[in-house]
Amino acid sequence: MENNEKFMLQALALAEQAGAIGEVPVGAVVVADGQVIGEGFNQPITACDPTAHAEIIAMRNAAAAVGNYRLTGCDLYVTIEPCTMCVGAMVHARIQRVIFGALEPRAGALASQLKLMDQSHFNHSIDWQGGVLEQQCGALIKDFFKRRR
């Protein structure tokens, strides 16, 4: 199994944890040198924290693990295309690469809407790739919202 799929499966398992507690099922892992150094899943409702997205929590955990707010050379895997807030935090953390599963057509900030990494004014650019285990990632979100309606 390719590394992208291996790490995305870990993010999917975290997303399932979020769904199990009633949160939108999004999971994320931060990887350095082939090792997961931070993980997170959506918790804005349970944590009463609007910034508690999977990516933010994973980056917080990774930064604590390495003792530095800069995550230079790290990759972030997330089940859904990141929003504007999360992409901004990734730029500040100096994430090297973002790999996501399914597109987020309404709020995705890399491919679907704002295309933030196409902008030239940022002081750091992030490489990104979408579509890794896209079907599984997308189905998890669709099933979650189908059950809620």
pLDDT value of position 1: 65
The helix (H) or strand (E) run that includes residue 30 is strand 27-32
d(CA 129, CA 1): 17
Q: Is pLDDT above 90 for 148?
A: no
- Of the ranges 23-32, 50-59, 140-149, which one carries the lowest mean pLDDT score? 140-149
Which pTM value belongs to this model? 0.97
pLDDT tens-digit readout, 81-108: 999 999 999 999 999 999 999 999 999 9
Return the active site residues: 55
pLDDT tens-digit readout, 112-139: 999 999 999 999 999 999 999 999 999 9
The helix (H) or strand (E) run that includes residue 93 is helix 84-93
